[in-house]
Amino acid sequence: MSINGKVALVTGAGQGIGRAIALRLANDGADITIVDLNPEKMNEVAEAVRSTGSKATVFKADVSNRNEVYAAIDHTEKELGGFDIIVNNAGIASIQPLADVTPEGFNRIIQVNVAGVLWGIQAAAKKFQERKQKGKIISASSIAGHEGFPLLGIYSATKFAVRALTQAAAKEYASAGITVNAYCPGVVGTDMWVEIDRRMAEITGAKIGESYDKFVGGIALGRAQTPEDVAAFVSYLAGPDSDYMTGQAPLIDGGLVYR
């Protein structure tokens, strides 16, 4: 079953996993709001969405700003005539020993990775209820939301928090017909992993690419993940085949972390 005719908002959709999710949902028939901070990248993704035959609109927003998240959803409803799915995909990484974490760095990643998801959950649920309809809330966690990794401690903490929010929200909104799930990617070949590898090399003295190769070497399926691998699973979460699933944060990592 498809999501043809549905309206989806994807945060962090200007590149990487978010871009792949926006394009997959568009190919599956949904109209898309692309939310990001980079207008040039957003517009490029919007054109790619339109080339599939789906409608697209863009909205510049910082997900750590609650008012901007609410405004993005209002924009979606106005421009695309509805609102059915939110994908809280936007996030940032932090690669450092726990001893080096500063209040400023801690607050920034918490505001983006945790508060940004919370505002998305709040705003989406409020809009679904105003429209007296069911809806899908989908958020980005990580393998680091199931296991804490050295040098990724604060990032891991934010992704564990996304799982907690997902479980609580699923229980709070189930009676309204709103499902809340998350997805937990592994080692994806994106700019974020380029930065993770670079910082790990800087901290540990490893060669560039060595940390990335070490993680990829532990994947049972024998290759790094692509953004499209993640997008395929998000498409399932966005569609009617997952209607009986809520409060879950499955691993989609090729066989790296097992729970």
Distance in angstroms between the alpha carbons of the first and the last residue of the chain: 29
DSSP code, position 114: I
Sign (positive/negative) of CA torsion 74, 79, 81, 86? negative
Instruction: Give the C-alpha separation, 87 to 42, whole Å.
Output: 15
What does the angle CA 120 – CA 118 – CA 175 come to, to the nearest 5 degrees? 80
Would you call 164 helix, strand, or coil by DSSP? Answer: helix
In the set 155, 173, 183, 212, the catalytic residue is: 155
For the beta carbon of residue 4, count every other beta carbon within 10 angstroms: 11
Q: Residue 195: what are its φ and ψ, rounded to 5°? A: -70, -40
Q: How many residues does the chain have?
A: 259
Whole-number Å distance between alpha carbons of 77 and 74:
5
For the chain, the C-alpha Rg in angstroms (whole number) is 17
> Helix, strand, coil shares of the chain as percentages rounded to 5?
50, 15, 35
Classify residue 155 as left (phi > 0), alpha (psi -120 to 50) or beta.
Answer: alpha
How far, in Å, CA of 49 to CA of 22, rounded? 7
- Is-catalytic flag, 155? yes
3-state secondary structure of 56: strand
Residues belonging to the active site:
155
